[in-house]
Chain A
Amino acid sequence: MADPAKRDAILARMRQSLSVGADDEVRRKTVKDRIKAHKPNLVPARAQLPHKKQVELFREQAEAVQSTVTSVARDDDVPAAVADYLRSQNLPQTVRHGDDPLINKLPWRKKAPTLELNKGIADPQDEVSLSHATVGVAETGTLVLTSGSDNPTTLNFLPENHIVVIKAGEIRGTYEDAWQHLRKRDGERTLPRTVNMVTGPSRTGDIEQRIELGAHGPRRLHIIIIGG
């Protein structure tokens, strides 16, 4: 297990190389202040737009990295959109999802009676998973998914097809906006066990630098924007 003497030796060597003492209060304050302030650095202009434009940019950027995107007007339209998507891809009408409040309250039985819903973490046999993203980042069409019983992390990676719902209001401009959202939700200096930023389906360029989709994670990433 961790050896405190080694830790102290390495920290002491850092200080020796930097020619600093362990008791320098000015340095200590500099570090504490920087962490506390967590000031954004230069934020590219690209996504600093009115919200409607951010949603458009999100969609464009997501499609540019081979995500597919549809919009529905209201929450209640999601079940049919999921069923339609599965049919269009010749996929089974079976979906795995977590305990997300939004997903739970959708009128599945009424609007998509053929769809079989399974709750829980991903099973290796699952072909399709459904998640609800915490934030969408317009800058690069990135989904921010956070771990928990509502949206288990394995759903993002194990099945070959991943469907993600997000409300237009959850789409923001930049990654910095996502961090601010999480700090407001969970507090300062803490994150959920896993924060996944997902930008398009899985891919690899390892064979002759040619891009192939579906390396280990989902081959298809389908995003349903509610109210966008």
Chain B
Amino acid sequence: MNQTPTSRNFKRNTAGALVNEQLQRALSNVPAGFVDKRARARDKLPEFDALRDQARDIKNHTLAHLDLYYEEYEAKVAASGGHVHWCETADEACKAVVEICKSHSARTVTKGKSMVSEEMNLNAALAEAGVEPVETDLGEYIIQLRGETPSHIIAPAVHLNKDQIEADFRATHTGLPPERNLEEGAALVYEARQILREKFIAADIGITGANMLIAETGTSVIVTNEGNGDLTQSLPKVHIVLATIEKMVPTLEDATTILRLLARSGTGQEFSSYTTFSTGPRREGDPDGPDEYHVVILDNGRTKMLGSDFQEMLRCIRCGACLNHCPVYQAVGGHAYGWVYPGPMGAVLTPSLIGVDEAGHLPNASTFCGRCEEVCPMRIPLPRMMRNWREREFERHLSPATVRSGLSLWAFFAKRPRLYRLATGFAARFLHLWCGGDGKLETLRFAGGWTKHRDFPSPEGRTFMAQWKNRNG
């Protein structure tokens, strides 16, 4: 089943996020952690923007011929001894995975980071079938311990601070000496490494996502830094790959062009530590690797996006750059968006996947500052598509009054592009409106704690980032 959305409550979620002190402290790591690093990586590669044009063209071509590339791809997977499972819905995809687990009497599966798995809500389906899913990406492991969902598509635990993680580890890893020192990040990383090592070795099945599928060779690609995805897929007897239909590229060369953009845009690395190309199960004479290789291909509404106004969203490579550079995401984090995909890419994709009734608020989560499109390696016109959703929603009269006034405010600026560009504090004004016009965040009423003895004015006149800087010294 699809993960249950809370996107309808976006407004309330937002207000809560703005007064969540832990969250705000954690989100203050985003500019240095991602934005600055991306800028440096881009500056080091003079061809960066030309590569973006080509990557856009590669994906446009692939999407226009998607049916045929899948035919080519599937034939190659079969020729290398793998299996492709076609699934229309998240339910079907969960069932396909559970069936494979059952056929191997699997007790535990290790998992590499996969947003598709989140979209499917696979962990719940596995648990229901009596299979223990173990997230092995450090960020995913942490949020699994906490019973949370990822708040970022490449940094699932970006909403947490070290002291919270330390508390979680102490509460969960009870077999370890309580007096151990976990102050340094390195100590936490080491502890997780030791704990998960046993899980890797014990797992019956390994499940990973796929950053790309390659038609030329029938290959799936994962891009990681930790090496957990590789242990996940090379130690157990069975490797299951989860992918949605837009992951296809024609050739190894096309994959390469996109890889040159992916890490630079996301983490600001020139290349991630591990880029792994997997083709079928282990070959004759191979001493390690899985005996079985399964690829679960999930549609979940995407074929309907093909040929529509939102087709371009299917170029997305999930790099996370649009989240990192979005003033709204930087201010409220990912959970406020209420479903799997946050930030600008989520604001466009979520209504397509779970419907505008559920997610109609999300396209309003934009100041239309245009930074997302500026940094998107795949040149996806995110603001234009958010606008498109907004107009549709408006026409459907789903908008509550505040959204309509937000829309007219936006329309005012949109018709005056020079003014629009000048409106540097637009995010602040947008959120001010969003949170109610009386100058006080309505959540004050139930926020309690640290806001009790001080007024928390909704932003006026200055941008959020300026406020943050001031507040955090």
Which residues in A have some Cβ–Cβ distance to B below 8 Å?
1-3, 6-7, 9-11, 13-20, 22, 27-28, 30-32, 34-35, 38-42, 44-46, 61, 64-65, 98, 120-122, 124, 140, 142, 147-149, 152-154, 156-158, 175-176, 179, 189-210, 212, 214-218
Contact = CB atoms under 8 A, between A and B. Distances in A.
A35 B250 contact: yes
Interface in B281-304: 281-283, 285-289, 297, 299, 303-304
B33 A209 contact: yes
A17 B306 contact: yes
Contacts of A46: 45
A35 B72 CA distance: 9
Contacts of A41: 51, 54, 58, 253-254, 256-257
Given A193-B280, A206-B155, A208-B162, A217 B274 contact: yes
Contact of B251 (A35, A142, A156, A175): A35
Contacts of A192: 279, 283
21 contacts: A9-B88, A10-B86, A10-B88, A14-B303, A27-B68, A31-B69, A34-B61, A38-B251, A44-B260, A64-B270, A149-B286, A152-B287, A157-B227, A190-B279, A194-B279, A199-B273, A202-B225, A207-B138, A207-B157, A210-B185, A215-B227
B309 interface: no
A215 B228 contact: yes
Contact of A179 (B74, B253, B270): B253
B226 A179 contact: no
A6 B87 contact: yes
Contacts of A13: 299, 303-304
A202 B33 contact: no
Contacts of B87: 6
Contact of B142 (A98, A147, A153, A206): A206
Given A1-B99, A44-B260, 16 more contacts: A11-B67, A17-B305, A42-B47, A42-B54, A64-B270, A147-B282, A153-B234, A158-B231, A193-B282, A194-B289, A196-B230, A207-B157, A207-B165, A209-B29, A212-B189, A217-B231
Which of B67, B231, B235, B308 is the most central at the interface, judged by chain A CB atoms within 10 Å of its CB?
A: B67
A120 B230 contact: no
Nearest to B99: A1
Nearest to A199: B271
B33 A6 contact: no
Given A207-B165, A215-B228, A216-B136, A153 B288 contact: yes
Contacts of A120: 287
A38 B252 contact: yes
Contact of B193 (A193, A195, A215): A215
B272 interface: yes
Nearest to B235: A154
A67 to B, nearest CB: 10
Contact of B227 (A40, A206, A216): A216
Interface residues of B, number: 108
Interface stretch (B126-134, B211-219, B355-363): B211-219
A195 B231 contact: no
A203 B185 contact: no
B287 A98 contact: yes
Interface of B: 26, 29-30, 32-34, 45-47, 50-51, 54, 58, 61, 64-72, 74, 76, 80, 83-88, 92, 99, 136-139, 142, 155-158, 161-162, 165, 185-186, 188-190, 192-193, 196-197, 200-201, 215-217, 219, 225-228, 230-231, 234-235, 245, 250-254, 256-257, 259-260, 267, 269-283, 285-289, 297, 299, 303-308
Given A156-B230, A175-B256, A197-B275, A206 B86 contact: no
Contact of B66 (A14, A19, A204): A14
Contacts of B76: 189
A190 B19 CA distance: 54
A149 B225 contact: no
A21 B41 CA distance: 43
A201 B67 contact: no
Given A13-B299, A193-B278, A201-B273, A157 B234 contact: yes
A190 B228 CA distance: 25
A204 B256 contact: no
A208 B306 contact: no
A47 to B, nearest CB: 11
Contacts of A31: 65, 68-69, 72, 215, 250
B435 to A, nearest CB: 27
Given A208-B162, A214-B190, A147 B286 contact: yes
B272 to A, nearest CB: 7
Given A14-B306, A193-B282, A197-B275, A28 B68 contact: yes
A208 B185 contact: yes
Contacts of B227: 157, 202, 215-218
Nearest to A155: B288
A204 B189 contact: yes
Contacts of A206: 137-139, 142, 155-157
Nearest to A210: B185
A191 B80 CA distance: 9
Contacts of A20: 67
A70 B197 CA distance: 30
Given A6-B88, A121-B287, A194-B276, A11 B46 contact: no
